[in-house]
Amino acid sequence: MARTQDYGLGEFTFPRGWFMVADAEELKDRPLPVRFFGQEFALYRGKSGRVVMLDAYCPHMGTHLARNNTSYIVQDGQIEGDSIRCPYHGWRFGPDGKCNDIPYSKAPIPKAACVRAWPIVESLGAIFVWYDPEGGEPEWEAPALPQWNDPQWVRWKFDHLGVINCHAQEVIDNIADCSHLGPVLGESLKFYRNEFKGHLATQIQGGGHRTLVTPDGVSPILTTDTTYHGPGFLLSYMLGMGESIIFIGHTTVDDGVIKVWHALLVKSANKVASAADVAAARLYQEASRVAFAQDFDVWANKRAAVQILQVPGDGPFHKSRIWYRQFYNQRARKQEFLKQVEGIQHRVVGMPTRLEEAETAA
């Protein structure tokens, strides 16, 4: 299992960006224990509906705020308003992470009685956290889609693909991997190109597909405009069998270990999606998941590609890896990496960059 330092990504073990930490449907009436970036957190929804994520361990005696099922504090209701009580001694912490009640003490609450509260956004049915090793404010906007609130679009339900021993670098490599699309996904690729700008890394490609086909087995030309919005998730606009948007999120649990989610937003033929449209969208999402699982199967069982034996036709791995390094180093250094990849349309030798170019060549 390779780690960040093996790839030479930078000074930080975990990258800067917005990351999915939970499916919003997982937040019930009890806190959810989650582990990411090599540490434990307590994630919960307050009575007002506000989502809060705190460092997990109570500063009093180190008790995990979210890993307890037997304490009477937990059984009686651990969440009070938008605050949470420690299951051991009942210390209560607000959404700002500060202790606001010690039930058995009338003395002033110590200033050290606090835990870190993290920047959280609930969007697209998911909970996202802004993680920054430097502790800075978010550098770009949290994920959002105007289609999410359009009744013509069927909202996704997340596919929880689990945890695998694979560094996130191996997943990011896919954004520049032209040559795997045929062997793994069964694409008869017609065109392909990459573009990098700031925190965005984009792949635009299209061709026939063996996994995503119509019910009668026809494979239309599928085109995807796929962009990583920072290092933690991508959104892919897919055309060919209607309109849809793929979400793939991966968040580092520990160095060299990631957790992965998949989902698909589907545009229906009606102004307001019907029950039949929802059922069809679920089937299409499952087909998309199966297609993505072909990549997932490779990541879960490969050794680390710390160095890539790159040949013409592979795609610009070297450029995507330079782009990716900006998130593992101080944000003051990001231009050092971006100046090597921005403003260039990266093409693959012998591969058209647009469908029109491919059709002209044919």
Task: Determine the Cα–Cα distance for residues 353 and 190; give it in Å rounded to an integer.
Answer: 8
Residue pLDDT, tens place only, 113-155: 999 999 999 999 999 999 999 999 999 999 999 999 999 999 9
Tokens of 279: 């059922």
Collapsed DSSP state (helix, strand, coil) of residue 236: strand
The closest alpha carbon to 298, from 180, 158, 176, 159, belongs to: 180
Q: Is the pLDDT of residue 356 over 70?
A: no
The closest alpha carbon to 248, from 230, 276, 266, 228, belongs to: 228
> Phi and psi for 356 in degrees, rounded to 5?
-60, -40
Task: Determine the Cα–Cα distance for residues 44 and 142; give it in Å rounded to an integer.
Answer: 19
| pLDDT confidence band for 168 (50 / 70 / 90) | very high
Q: Is the pLDDT of residue 358 over 90?
A: no
Span 286-307, average pLDDT? 91
Q: Measured in Å, how far apart are the chain's first and last C-alpha atoms?
A: 44
Task: Determine the Cα–Cα distance for residues 137 and 328; give it in Å rounded to an integer.
Answer: 16
Task: Determine the Cα–Cα distance for residues 156 and 245; give it in Å rounded to an integer.
Answer: 10
For β-strands 233-239 and 39-45, DSSP reports them as: unpaired
What pLDDT shows up at residue 311? 87
What pLDDT shows up at residue 182? 64
The pTM score is 0.93
Contact 122, 134 (CB under 8 A): no
Residues 6+ apart with CB under 8 A from 41: 21, 33, 34, 35, 53, 54, 55, 56, 66, 118
Complete domains list, the chain, with CATH: 10-131 (2.102.10.10), 146-356 (3.90.380.10)
Q: Is the pLDDT of residue 359 over 60?
A: no
Contact 173, 305 (CB under 8 A): yes
The closest alpha carbon to 295, from 248, 256, 252, belongs to: 248
Residue pLDDT, tens place only, 241-296: 789 999 999 999 999 999 999 999 999 999 999 999 999 999 999 989 998 898 88
Contact 195, 345 (CB under 8 A): yes
Tokens of 220: 């239309």
